[in-house]
Amino acid sequence: MNQARMLASLRREVRERAGERCEYCLLAELQALPPHEPDHLISLKHGGQTISANLALACFVCNRFKGSDIASIDAVTSELVSLFNPRTQRWFEHFRLDGAYLVPLTVVGRVTEKLLRFNLPYRVEVRARLIELGKYPYSCNRNPDHSHENSKVDERYTAQ
């Protein structure tokens, strides 16, 4: 099943579970053009399925940089490392905010940050402006089953 034919109910589930923000860079869908889209964590060409457990909400930029990739070579260790998976991993264990920069904390974070180019100057500029406006990172409490993911913005995201 391709993105165009994905069930509206499945798109809604993915969007609500993510708190209406990109599960990679935390950009709120309200702050983005075009709208966020469901990303196959394991792409269809690699045998992934169009099911909730294999989908993450991604902004246009993160989704385009990620493409069908599921791993990348770590520049430090030269090892093949899986990308961050929002279904099985917690964002704040692999990344933190330092001002408007997304800083990797683990090798998974490092390869994901590099591949998705979180800290390109224009992306940092957008985050800095949204931080000034109190709109980044965005929080949404619509899904109580995932309140640990969508709770109010707290110290989990920021530099310690």
The DSSP secondary structure of 102-129, one letter per residue, reads: EEE-SHHHHHHHHHHTTT-HHHHHHHHH
Residue 155 or 123, more confident: 123
CB 129 within 8 A of CB 139: no
Mean pLDDT of the chain: 87
**Amino acid at position 15, single letter:** R
What radius of gyration, in Å, describes the C-alpha atoms of the chain? 15
* Predicted TM-score of the model (pTM): 0.84
At 109 the pLDDT is 98
CB 37 within 8 A of CB 31: no
pLDDT in tens, 101-115: 999 999 999 999 999
Pairing mode, if any, of strands 80-82 and 71-73?
antiparallel
Lowest-confidence range among 54-63, 92-101, 140-149? Answer: 140-149
At 89 the pLDDT is 97
pLDDT in tens, 36-69: 999 999 999 999 999 999 999 999 999 999 999 9
Q: 58, 33, 28, 29: which is closest to 43 by C-alpha?
A: 58
Confidence band, pLDDT 50/70/90 cuts, at residue 155: low
Residues 115, 73: Cα–Cα separation, whole Å: 9
Q: What are the distances in angstroms from CA 107 to CA 54, 145, 160?
A: 22, 29, 19
Determine how many CB atoms are found less than 10 A away from the CB of residue 91. 19
Residue 94 three-state SS: helix
At 102 the pLDDT is 97
Residues of the chain above pLDDT 70, percent: 82
At 7 the pLDDT is 87
Residues 41, 84: Cα–Cα separation, whole Å: 9
